[in-house]
Amino acid sequence: MPSLLILGYGDTHYTDRNPRRLFNYAKESGFEAERRDYSEIRGAPDFEGETIKVMLFFPYTFWNENCEVPEDTKLYGTSKRSYELLREFFLEVKGALQQRYASQQLQYVIPPESAALDRDKIAAIQRLKKGGVPTSELVSYQKLDDILHQISSERGVFVKCRYGAEGKGIMLLQESGWVTNYKVEGATLTNYGIYEQWVFTDITGRRDLLEQLLEQEVIVEKEIVVPEFFEGKKFDARAYVINGQVPHFFIRVNERHKVVTNYSQGAQVVHHPQTSLPPELIVRIREEAVKSAWAFSSNFLGVDIMVDSCPDGIKVVEVQTFTDFPDIKCFDLAKYLVSNQSGLFL
């Protein structure tokens, strides 16, 4: 049985619960397991085995101090430099681990080289497309009116920060109105705090705010219009890919007028097998999730999928390298990861 090194502490008791639980289960299952924060690699303990499996978790301390509010743009998720800092961080982590365990073989569940890639939405879509994964449709533009002309009565346009996550930094432009979940202070877009909810504000007709965001690094996508699987509602699916398999997924169902399907925006979470989705759609969700993980060369990935009413149907809208774990009462992902069934740490 390989040794297991778990890296990364949460910044609150809640965000630390998943690596903490994984470590406890690993010890109970007989693994030679250690847990450290990224700043503690040099002092990490010796391992007896020749092979060390490395499980990375999100580096909250580094992100909060260096990337959450970028020094250059000041606007969450719009700084290429902040993204590069995160990417360089993981490469430095790999170098530090190679130096610390020079005589042993390191095997990464999440490759350090691509650990930050999901934070670049454009690069992530390009990687998915190269792997044959259907994604949301990008809108090319040179000026604001190029974007506004894409809005129709059936389908709006999303403008999102390029380097963000967690549903932060979004504008939705529809014929019925425009909204953003950036904080609006007079004529300026700014950020909510790290631990605040990013609520949506009506900015209909505020071209000045839209122009302000377009000056930064953004991604523009056509809105996905979900067919009526659930009357008056829309939904997306979160699939967990472990070692090329999908052991669990759930859907988030929200009112159709809601901008996003996040739980924080009032969505109802329904876990498989209670989703009532057609069997053929469940097969497609699993297939595209596995293809996404293959495209990212990752043995552990969260994949967000929506169904579009357009002819080619299913779309992978986002991948989560450091995905949150599902409700333990519905599927204990941490326990599954250290089980023989997952094969992840064998």
Taking CA atoms, 152 is separated from 24, 189, 261, 313, in Å, by 52, 26, 22, 19
Domain pair 3-116 / 225-320, same fold: no
State in words which class domain 3-116 has.
Answer: alpha beta
Q: pLDDT digit string (tens) for 11-32?
A: 999 999 999 999 999 999 999 9
Cα distance between residue 133 and residue 292, in whole Å: 6
Segment 78-82 long-range contacts (CB within 8 Å, at least 24 positions apart): 78/161, 78/162, 78/163, 78/164, 78/169, 78/213, 78/216, 78/217, 78/218, 79/163, 79/216, 79/217, 80/162, 80/163, 80/217, 82/163
Cα distance between residue 128 and residue 147, in whole Å: 24
pLDDT of residue 119: 97
The band of 264, judged by pLDDT with boundaries at 50, 70 and 90, is low
Average pLDDT for residues 52-76, to the nearest whole number?
97
Domain locations along the chain: 3-116, 144-222, 225-320
Which architecture characterizes domain 225-320 according to CATH?
Answer: 2-Layer Sandwich (3.30)
CA-angle at 263, arms to 15 and 326, nearest 5°: 50
Whose structure tokens read 């700084």? 79
237 pLDDT above the threshold of 90: yes
The band of 49, judged by pLDDT with boundaries at 50, 70 and 90, is confident
